[in-house]
Structure 1
């Protein structure tokens, strides 16, 4: 399947790993694929995101907020006897201030430095670690092939990756999209309209 990916689609896959690493996530989700495409606004799919004001920075912030537990989540945990503030305080007493905010494997690169090099950085050295693709990201990539075939195209572009992400509609991606002021159906309609106009 990957031999059908265009250069832009391959950058989306590589970029998704960088986005997950940058956000200090332990897996690559469909939302990271979306952020990676947003980081290439000149690409098909990326241009639609840019037109709608969905930048890579906005995606990162939306993904961060989607990953945070809301007050309802905290209340549900409290009802089970779990106090998030107490957990954080205990972790910081044991491992130091900000222990829960540190990057995996002690990576200390800042977001700005990483985003200046992306997507051209190659993972090297002991600080880099493999980040696996989550089920929703795998499904989105599989769906990108279906989207290309449905459009009778013999290659998979960044636009198909976005369509795949939107079709899967994983809850964390939907939550991030809502934070960006849209939803999968609305974004899909915008992207398809742009693709029809470009044809």
Structure 2
């Protein structure tokens, strides 16, 4: 499938691997893909993000991702669900950090290993066997293909990776939505029906 990725989409995936390596993560996660997409310039995805007001807000996105890592990678929706069961995630994080130090649940090098599958699947050849991809990151790449096919686009671009991030539940979609980038708004900018069209 990687032959269907545009140069920009390939650069974003390789950028995600780079972010995982710099952060000391054992595997490439969806959040690394979001960071890599924020790095891109002069692409359909970057123009769409700028149109939706995300340009210049990278620090805010990084803070939100760091806070989610501090919660052990759980989204606010996950925390709310746990709260409904009588589990106070803030209290748990506080106790873990009291015992093991601040950011103990966010320790990048200790996360992501169990879901990777180094050397398995088309994505390992795509990125040269660097870090394995978590199940969520693999599913994101597959979902980007579905996004491209739904639009009858011949290739998978960075805009399809963005659409897939916003369509899937989890921290990246939550962070993007908090910054005004939802699946509906992104699709409107990319494919019409909005004030601006990236492209």
Partners of 1:177 and 1:184 within 8 A in 2: no
Q: Structure 1 residue 88 and structure 2 residue 97: aligned?
A: yes
What is the TM-score of this pair, normalised by structure 1?
Answer: 0.65
User: Which is higher, the Rg of structure 1 or of structure 2?
Assistant: 1
Give the whole-Å Cα distance in 2 for the aligned partners of 1:52 and 1:7: 23
User: What is the distance in 1 between the residues matched to 2:189 and 2:68?
Assistant: 23
The equivalent residue for 2:138 is 138
Kept in 2: contact 1:27–1:134 (CA 8 A): yes
Give the corresponding residue for 2:109.
104
Distance in 2 (CA, whole Å) between partners of 1:43 and 1:136 is: 24
Gaps of 5+ in 1: 93-97, 106-122, 124-128
Q: Is the 8 A contact 1:31 1:176 kept in 2?
A: no
2:156 matches 1:165: no
Distance in 1 between residues matched to 2:69 and 2:89, nearest whole Å: 18
- 8 Å contact from structure 1 (residues 23, 60) kept in 2: no
* 8 Å CA contact retained: 1:66, 1:175: no
The answer (yes or no) to whether the contact 1:136–1:170 under 8 Å persists in 2 is no
- CA distance change for structure 1 residues 130 and 77 in 2, over 3 Å: closer, same or farther? farther
RMSD: 3.5
Q: What corresponds to 2:147 in structure 1? A: 147
Q: TM-score, normalised by structure 2?
A: 0.65
- Is the Cα contact below 8 Å between 2:9 and 2:158 reproduced in 1? yes
Which of 54, 59, 66 does residue 61 from structure 2 map onto? 59
CA displacement at 1:162 relative to structure 2: 1.4
**Take 1:174 and 1:78, find their aligned partners in 2: how far apart are those partners?**
20
In structure 1, C-alpha distance between the alignment counterparts of 2:66 and 2:7, rounded to whole Å:
27
Change (3 A) 1:58 1:84: closer
Distance 1:24 1:188, change over 3 A: farther
Structure 2 residue matching 1:65: 3-state secondary structure? helix
The corresponding residue for 1:115 is none
Q: Tell me if the contact between 1:137 and 1:165 (Cα under 8 Å) persists in the aligned partners.
A: no
